[in-house]
Structure 1
Amino acid sequence: MTGARTDELSRLAELHGVAVSYSPAPDRTVTVPASAVTAALHALGVDAATPEAVRAALADRERALRERLLPPTVVHWAGDPHDPAALTALPPGTRVRVETEQGEEREAEVPGQGDVDLPGPGDADAPGPGPEAGAGRGQEPYPARATLVAGLPLGVHRITAHAPDGRTGHAHLVVAPDRLPAPPGRSYGLLVQLYSLLSRRSWGMGDLGDLAELAGWAGRVAGAGFVQVNPLHSAVPGAPTDPSPYRPSSRRFPDPVHLRVEDVPEYAYAEDRERLAGLLERAARLRAAVLDKGALIDRDAVWELKREALETVLAVPLGPGRQAAYDAFRAAHGQALDDHATYCALAESYGPDWTTWPGGLRDPRSGATARARAEHADRVAFHTRLAWLTDGQLRAAQRAAREAGMPVGIVHDLAVGVHPTGADAWAQQDVFAAGMTVGAPPDAFNARGQDWGLPPWRPDRLAACGYAPYRDLLRALFRYAGALRIDHVMGLFRLWWVPEGSPPTEGTYVHYDAEAMLAVLALEAGRAGAVVIGEDLGTVAPGVRETLQRRGVLGTSVLWFERDWTGDGRPLPPERWRADCLATATTHDLPPTAARLTGDHVELRDRLGLLTRPAAEERAEAVADAAEWLALLGSLGLVDSTATGPPGTDEEAEVRAVHRFLLRTPARLIGVWLPDGVGDRRPQNLPGTWDEYPNWRLPVADRSGRAVPLEELTSAPRLRALLEVFAQLRGG
């Protein structure tokens, strides 16, 4: 149905959470194409190709909603004294049974007018009778207070409801804490892309050994409370590999390219020492090329060496204790781990794009896949071991951070989605929306919109399975995270779906059950005692930030974007910043602070032909922007008294002043972009570029572009002076 949108199509879309319009600004509403609405519905399993099909689908949907007893997932916040609305709406006399994930059972009957299903003498967990219970029969309606869910443990439980008219309903019940864990006091931390953090021991890119070393130094010497890294998810195999950590093969399992091979216990017992020595020599040459000769990070070359070394190391049998730990890991991750390792093994034979594999192998549950898994059992075991080893070194890095006194530790990053040809998309085809990708609508920064090429989860399938893939993903990440940053956290509420083959301007928003998504997040974060930071930059729907704040999800505030947008547009003074956020001067997608202050970021974009206006105009705007911020910093007395000359002449003093400003805000967490500590001018990623710029392949470097190894970085006077700004937070 590609013509004009009808009222029936609009109603059908509404009932499935598909938007027919959106508001990029409070005073502007944009109607989305009917073709986008139809495509989104098709991806949700709804036929809307013709007016007749729309009419039939609408009737089916309305009937299903009218007749169902329960939605597929019900949420109860532990501090709420009332039953969820889905339970209070059940017909009087409905028998309800709850089976908790802990193995307990509870039964109750929905009371009629004035009736209260009072607890029996042995029901210690049920609430006592309240004021409503004293009312005579027929005088009060069903009391709006918990009679079933009160006292239930946190978790994801199963509800079965039997109505007097013979209908039966089943649902998942998520019982979650009211709020996510708060940061343990106020602290500052370092932000770094791990691959860019090379030490003289790494094999050509930063690894988990380097992360543990940085955390140990930052906690003990610099008094930092956390280290935030890029997503360490498993990348799509093959060469060349997509270097972006935000288009992974799997978000559930980490990438073994980050392993410190020498830290694997079996390394010491590997028999082929000559082979390992040769690989170490090659790794040293690869590392020297980056640190001493200005080469880019070559992830594929690093993995080639590590894979060969790990083939030798993993030939060593595990000792009894290590074997028991490995077996426990396999049991904990079950089918998901088996699927991931199977995908990796099959990708070695058939290539990384599972959509091109022989027909039977495209289905992870087919007999052909089961036979192939058995035929490739040794390779499946190899990739299973790699997942376990990487998980172990990730947990070791978090232990190192906490032992160094960090109250938070390692902050990991959750990408918004996965590569369409990767492991998760293969193993979880039933929960991904076929034929759609995730992106962003046109806005003030990009009039053409964005298509990120990531398949979205289907909200209906997530709800039907009690958000199991989402729960399992979070639980896996929280194993080794002191905190989790969620990229594009607005995706918990809605995502911009773009039909494959269409420009991103011709997409539409599809809504998710934000309450359920947040409840699962609160549940898993609470179990882990982990903080959650939401990346909420850009266009945010009304009420989203308020909802996230109410549930304890910290926001992200970046200095250059914090202006009085509802007033005169001037820089927002520190006292007006929000407290529940991670405050930073920049991010991996933005210019480093020195480049912003000096205008180098404009020169870079000009050299690459990325400017949309005359260079002189862009330069003038950048100078005015920096000058306005520097004027505010000066008026607050934040610039070093030793700074001399006009703005821009004492770069290091101005960078420190920017961070003193962040310290003046009430932000609970403050992040320092590690390259700012050595004067790096280059962004790690330049949006809008591909081959024109070496995205995700740059080592941390000084102002001249010379790579700075970890050993030199931690003793750099410029970095130490910058971190001294936060001396008052040490031990806080």
Structure 2
Amino acid sequence: MPDDATPSTRLVELAERYGVAVEYDDWQGRHVDVPASTVVAVLAALDVDADGDDAVEAALVAHDEAPWRATLPPVVVLRDGRVGEVRVHVPHGEPVDCELVLEEGRTVPLSQLDRWGGPREVDGAPVGRATFAVPADTPLGWHEVRVRVGADRGGEPTATAPLVITPSRLELPEGVRDGQHWGLMVQLYSVRSRLSWGLGDLADLAELASWSGGEHGADFVLVNPLHAAEPVAPMEPSPYLPTTRRFVNPMYVRVEDVRETAYLPSTDRALLEWAAEEQRSASAAGALVDRDAVWAAKRSALRTVFDAGRTAAREAAFAAFRAREGQGLGDYATWCALADRFGLPSSRWPAEAHEHGTPAHARLRADVADDARFHEWLQWVVDEQLEAAQRTASRAGMALGVVHDLAVGVHPLGADTWTLGPALARGITVGAPPDAFNQQGQDWSQPPWRPDGLARLGYAPYRDMVRTVMRHAGGVRVDHVMGLFRLWWVPAGLGPEAGTYVRYDHEAMVGILALEAQRAGAVVVGEDLGVVEPWVRDHLRERGVLGTSVLWFERTDDGSPLPPERWRELCMATVTTHDLPPTAGYLAGEHVDLRDRLGLLTRPVEEERRVDEADRASVLAQLAERGLVPEDPTERQLVDGLHRLLRASPSRLLGVSLPDMVGERRTQNQPGTYDQYPNWRVPLGDGAGDPVLLEDLPRNPRVRSVLEALLGDAPEQ
């Protein structure tokens, strides 16, 4: 078919059944019809053959018959406080019993409703549908539905399925239910100290929390995603393109804080210190963050510590951690060990490495088991240090403590794609359609969750990931939270502008997120910037998920700045974001100059500058109108004034970028680039690019100035 052909009526029906959009409105409100070729390619990634009229007809029949072929749906996700339903498909006329086994172990019989479906003929036999009621007082948690079919219903269940009860609304943790609460936003790797090894680590995170919380009343520290990257060089610099989202990058370990390090022989301790000094010298010189050099030094030191052994009590604690994390940890660690053995990318590994379940694969796993245990130990060590950082934050008086960032997806050749095969789509990457800031669209190169694959797995991979991220945290920021509703799928070989949206079961995705957050006592902040369907924000607010407000982007329908008093209460409000230069650089229009140099603009640079300057001027005019800056203000006074303006909002959480506090001008990330710019490698520095180390923050005059603006008398409303 022609690349721009319009989908047929029946192809549209098939696409709708699988949540594949055939039309959408772009960032300027223009209607866009999705070409049939894109629809067919996206359906193929869901294992649906739609190439031709006959294939479409067969796929429609298969989709409509699928529920009738299964006794139970793959998973049932309900909200608490409401009567729910479970539909059971059985041979027509057969008696059926249904019960619910609660997470605590108690069994509850379910009542059958006087509501029948069918019969429907499937493979020549009639199939009926019975419906059972789930009581409204069923407790929150992960339960199991069990069904027995036939005259003799006393034996083993005929079918089982997970049933998840999620909170109708996630209530804010007690410490942030009233008033405004501020915290730092940091790219942890960039915040180096005189003791860390060339890269900010978890001990530095604890110090940041202790200083900002204990001395200045901060209630949280929001960090970049700490997800695990490759265990061998080259390590992907972007924290938003991890190898897995469930486990943590051991690069953030402070080697000296591992208990066994203290008991190393003096010769090993000396070697460890020499390795550390080389990395600390890079920090002092303000060099770009070199993850490969840092990890090479740390990995060698950590392997020495691991090989030195542990006491019986410590070994038992390690064993308990391995048992808790189960098969997921073992699979991840095995992938790391195979990367050690064969290098990356994994596409070059021997065939048996990818043939899960075969004897050859089992032999290979056994062969690398010792190295895999080292990677399991690394996860135990980093988990201990995460726990210590959160404990330090709580002791400093923080209401939330550490707030982690959850990336949208994972590396296409990473550990998750190796271990979670049926949960992820192939031949597809996630991205974003063109918008005002990225006018060519974005391709993030990440394989998306398969909506049907997640359901078949009972959402276990999603649950385990969310649960791990929240274990030692007071909150989580969900990057591109719209991805819980729909994601922009880009078929392989096409540009990001040629993709389309695929919908997810947002009731399940948001509900499970809320369930795990409630159990962790955590707040959830959704990054809802960019193209967002209005009802999505309504749903998130209803479920207790906070939104995000960035000062520069808050606009009325006519494009004028939205007064901060009209911002949302249930959100985290900030002046800037990591995808923009720090405010000092933004005020100078450096983001326009950078995109021009990198060829990322779709309109003349002069026009881009005019539009950008007008946008900035309209925001800055509010500062003068409200008396928040003196006449003819300096850059520093403007930065302070913008943070005073932030306080005029009703927003529950205020996020303050650490680079803004020291006058940094360099951006951490330029969207739409890879190696054209040193994304995610810029260390914390001042306006001249000179290094600012963690120990320097309390005495830094610009830090004190922003704190005074933020914590001084509130501006008049």
Q: TM-score, normalised by structure 2?
A: 0.91
- Aligned-pair distance for 1:22? 1.7
Question: For 1:499-521, what per-residue CA distance to the aligned partner results, in whole angstroms no more than 9, with x for missing partners?
Answer: 11122222221111100111111
Measure the CA separation in 2 of the matches of 1:728 and 1:338: 51
Moved more, 685-694 or 539-548: 685-694
Q: 2:343 aligns with which of 327, 348, 351?
A: 351
Q: What secondary structure is seen at the aligned counterpart in 1 of 2:26?
A: strand
Aligned to 1:249: 243
Instruction: Structure 2: give runs of 5+ residues left out of the alignment.
Output: 117-130
| Equivalent position to 2:259, from 265, 275, 278 | 265
Q: Is the contact between residue 223 and residue 729 of structure 1 (CA under 8 Å) also seen in structure 2? A: no
What's 1:59 paired with? 61
Output the amino acid matched with 1:675.
P
> How far did residue 99 of structure 1 move?
1.6
Map of 2:124 onto structure 1: none
Pairwise CA distance, 1:173:
1.4
Q: Distance in 1 between matches of 2:338 and 2:91?
A: 49
Quote how far apart the aligned CAs of 1:275 are: 3.9
- Give the counterpart of 1:468 among 439, 443, 460: 460
User: Structure 1's 469 and 652: CA in aligned 2 closer, same or farther, altered over 3 A?
Assistant: same
Q: Give CA-to-partner distance per residue, 1:633-653, whole Å, 9 cap, x none.
A: 2212222xxx34x2xx41222
Task: Choose 331-340 or 166-175, whichever is displaced more.
Answer: 166-175
Q: Deviations over 1:539-575 (max 9, x none)?
A: 01231011011001111110000011x2x32111111
Question: Secondary structure, in 3 states, of the residue corresponding to 2:341?
Answer: helix
Q: Is the 8 A contact 2:27 2:435 kept in 1?
A: no
Structure 1 position 70, deviation (Å): 4.6
**1:188 & 1:200 partners in 2: Cα distance?**
27
Q: Residues 47 and 604 from structure 1, CA distance in 2 versus in 1: closer, same or farther, beyond 3 angstroms?
A: closer
Take 1:311 and 1:164, find their aligned partners in 2: how far apart are those partners? 58
Is 1:700 aligned with 2:700?
A: no
- Check the 8 A contact 1:162/1:168 in 2, yes or no: yes
Asked whether 1:453 is paired with 2:453, we answer: no
* Percent of pairs with identical residues: 53
Please state whether the residue corresponding to 1:323 is helix, strand or coil.
Answer: helix
Letter in 2 for 1:278: L
Contact 1:188-1:729 within 8 A present in 2 as well: no
Match of 1:596 among 573, 581, 586: 586
1:691 corresponds to which residue? 675
Matches within 5 A, 1:662-681: 662-681=646-665
Distance across 2 between alignment mates of 1:723 and 1:75: 45
The AA in structure 2 aligned to 1:572 is L
Equivalent pair of 1:417/1:455 in contact (CA under 8 Å):
yes
User: Separation in 1 of the partners of 2:613 and 2:31?
Assistant: 34
Report the alpha carbon displacement of residue 337 of structure 1 after superposing the two structures with TM: 0.4
Aligned mate of 2:634, from 640, 650, 654: 650
Q: What displacement does 1:610 show?
A: 4.3
Q: 2:161 aligns with which of 171, 190, 200?
A: 171
Q: Which residue among 283, 289, 302 is the counterpart of 1:290?
A: 283
Q: Corresponding residue for 1:632?
A: 622
Q: Report how far residue 56 of structure 1 moved.
A: 1.2
Q: Which residue of 2 aligns with 1:139?
A: none
Matched residue of 1:718: which SS? helix
SS of 1:111's partner is strand
Distance 1:163 1:274 in 2: 69
Give the whole-Å Cα distance in 2 for the aligned partners of 1:729 and 1:670.
Answer: 16
Q: Distance in 1 between matches of 2:381 and 2:198?
A: 20
Which of 137, 148, 152 lines up with 2:134 in the alignment? 148
SS at match of 2:11: helix
Partner of residue 123, structure 2: none
* Partner of residue 137, structure 1: none
Is contact 1:181–1:525 with CA below 8 Å preserved after alignment?
A: no
Letter in 1 for 2:112: V
CA contact (8 A) 1:363 1:426 kept: no
The question of 1:404 aligning with 2:396 is answered: yes
| Superposed displacement of residue 358, structure 1 | 0.8
Q: Is 1:194 the counterpart of 2:188 in the alignment?
A: yes
**Does the 8 A contact of 1:94 with 1:110 survive in 2?**
no
Kept in 1, the 8 Å contact 2:573–2:655? The answer is yes
> Residues of 2 paired with 1:69 and 1:509: CA distance?
31
Partner residue, 1:71: 73
Q: Given that residues 223 and 727 in structure 1 are in contact (C-alpha distance below 8 angstroms), is that contact kept between their aligned partners in structure 2?
A: no
- Say whether the 8 Å CA contact 2:439–2:602 is kept in structure 1: no
Indicate if the aligned counterparts of 1:417 and 1:454 stay in contact, CA closer than 8 A. Answer: yes
Alpha-carbon spacing, 1:373–1:51, altered in 2? closer, same or farther (3 Å):
same
Task: Select the residue among 201, 208, 233 that pairs with 1:214.
Answer: 208
Counterparts of 2:259 and 2:115 in 1: how far apart (Å)? Answer: 67
Map of 1:560 onto structure 2: 552
Q: What's the secondary structure of 2:560's corresponding residue?
A: coil
Deviation per residue, 1:270-313 (Å, 9 max, x gap)? 12x33442342343233223322x42110100001001111111
Cα deviation, 1:580-610, whole Å, max 9, x if unaligned, reads 1100011111111111223333344445454
1:96 is matched with 98
The amino acid of 1:148's aligned partner reads: V
Partner of 2:22: 20
| Residues 599, 623 of structure 1: 8 Å contact kept | yes
- Of 41, 48, 51, 1:49 maps to 51
Matched residue, 1:539: 531
Which residue among 353, 356, 367 is the counterpart of 2:359?
A: 367
Q: Would you say 1:720 and 2:704 are equivalent positions?
A: yes
The answer to whether 1:578 aligns with 2:568 is: yes
Stretch of structure 1 that moved more, 60-69 or 480-489 = 60-69
Asked whether the 8 Å contact 2:183–2:655 carries over to 1, the reply is: yes
Q: SS in structure 1 opposite 2:591?
A: helix
Instruction: Give the 3-state SS of the residue equivalent to 2:659 in structure 1.
Output: helix
CA distance in structure 1 between the aligned counterparts of 2:712 and 2:544, rounded to whole angstroms: 25
CA separation of 1:619/1:327 partners in 2, compared to 1, >3 Å: closer, same or farther? same
Deviates more, 1:609-618 or 1:655-664: 609-618
Partner Cα distance (1:161, 1:90) in 2 = 13
CA distance in 1, matches of 2:110, 2:599: 68
Call closer, same or farther: CA 1:23–1:172 in 2, change over 3 Å.
farther
Matched, 1:413 2:414: no
Amino acid across the alignment from 1:217: W
**404, 408, 423: which one aligns with 2:415:** 423
Question: Which residue of structure 2 lines up, in the alignment, with residue 132 of structure 1?
Answer: none
Instruction: Tell me if 1:160 matches 2:143.
Output: no
Contiguous gaps of at least 5 residues in structure 1:
115-143
Task: Describe how 1:225-236 pairs up with structure 2 within 5 A.
Answer: 225-236=219-230
Within 5 Å, which residues of 2 pair with 1:282-321?
A: 282-292=275-285, 294-321=286-313
Decide which of 34, 37, 60 is 1:35's aligned counterpart: 37
- Matched residue type, 1:698: V
Cα deviation per residue 1:420-461 (whole Å; 9 max; x = unaligned)? 111111011121111111111233433432211001111111
CA deviation map 1:652-672 (0-9, x unaligned): 221111111111100010000
Q: Give 2:381's aligned residue.
A: 389
8 A contact 2:86–2:133 mirrored in 1: no
Does structure 2 conserve the Cα–Cα contact (< 8 Å) formed by 1:236 and 1:419? Answer: no
> For residues 413 and 502 of structure 1, do their structure 2 counterparts lie closer, same or farther at Cα, with a shift above 3 Å needed?
same
Partner in structure 2 of residue 83 of structure 1: 84
- 1:164 and 1:26 map into 2 onto residues whose CA distance is 58
Match of 2:612 in 1: 622
- Is the Cα contact below 8 Å between 1:247 and 1:454 reproduced in 2? yes
